[in-house]
Amino acid sequence: MNDIADLFFKGAFIKFLGTGGARFVMINQTRSTGGIWLGLFGYHILIDPGPGSLVKICEAGTPFTPEILETVMLTHKHLDHSNDINVMVEAITHGGFKRRGTLILPRDAAMGEGQILLSHFNTKIGKIHYWEDKRLIPLCEGMLEAVRLIHHGVECYGFILRYPEIAPFGFISDTRYDEEIVKRYHCCKVLVVNMTFNHIRNGVDHLAVDHVALIRDLVAPELIMLNHFGRGVIDAGPEKIASSLTTKSCKVIAPFDGQMIDLKSFESFFEEDT
């Protein structure tokens, strides 16, 4: 497909509303923290609506409108992933006047001390699913498999998406590197990996460049899309890092904010300077 509108309504794509991560990039918006828009043949999902998510969607212009979203996914409740969760639920329920849409999130984001989801949305949203390790969650014509990650004392999940007409797709959110977790993604031909650090920092539950190399070699995907860049990665140059990680069998890319990638052809649209 060579037309963005056709891709939006008839194709499968991922659009990076923001590729920034961690507190200082978030505070300064060196890269946006707007999350990811996933389109599946006319069914639209928002992943991790951090600070600025609603603004980035509105700035993207037609056909990107918050009201068209069907599902919002939250991998964990840290601020750089979750800040706009309530306003996005307000959007998909059309101001709370229509009980519609699906919300997928950890229990600790919706219940108990430290919950971030406003309680009244329990009666507004059409359906709520809570992540549980290995739980299968239906998503339109496909299926999500939840993958429990390890991240700083909160519930945190990645997922594997199996969906007709596209290769198995995996998302690895913020996590400590763990080989057994990585092996869960062995079937995935396409991965999004949150790579926050340029160098490994012991005792910190975030992935670094050398971890991505290990994931690449263990999973053997065809494409890795890097995401969630901290200051060190941005200073070092995400594109240079991606190029250094690319092999003959696996292409690694570092998307710009606003970039849109066709999940069938891997063709790129909307490249924007940061």
Inter-residue contact 167 to 189 (CB < 8 Å): yes
State the burial class of residue 183 (Cβ atoms within 10 Å of its Cβ: 0-12, 13-18, 19+).
Answer: exposed
Q: Quick one: how far is CA 160 from the chain centroid? A: 12
- What's the pLDDT score for residue 3? 81
pLDDT at 75: 98
What pTM did the predictor assign? 0.96
Mean pLDDT by groups of 10 residues along the chain of 274 residues: 82 98 96 98 98 97 96 98 97 95 98 95 95 97 98 96 96 98 98 98 97 98 98 98 98 97 88 43
Cα distance between residue 91 and residue 114, in whole Å: 23
Q: How high is the pLDDT of residue 268?
A: 87
Residue 194 is predicted with a pLDDT of 98
| 13 CB-near residues (< 8 Å, 6+ apart) | 7, 38, 39, 260, 261, 262, 263, 269
Chain-centroid distance of CA 167 in Å reads 17
Per-residue confidence (pLDDT) for residue 150, from 0 to 100:
98
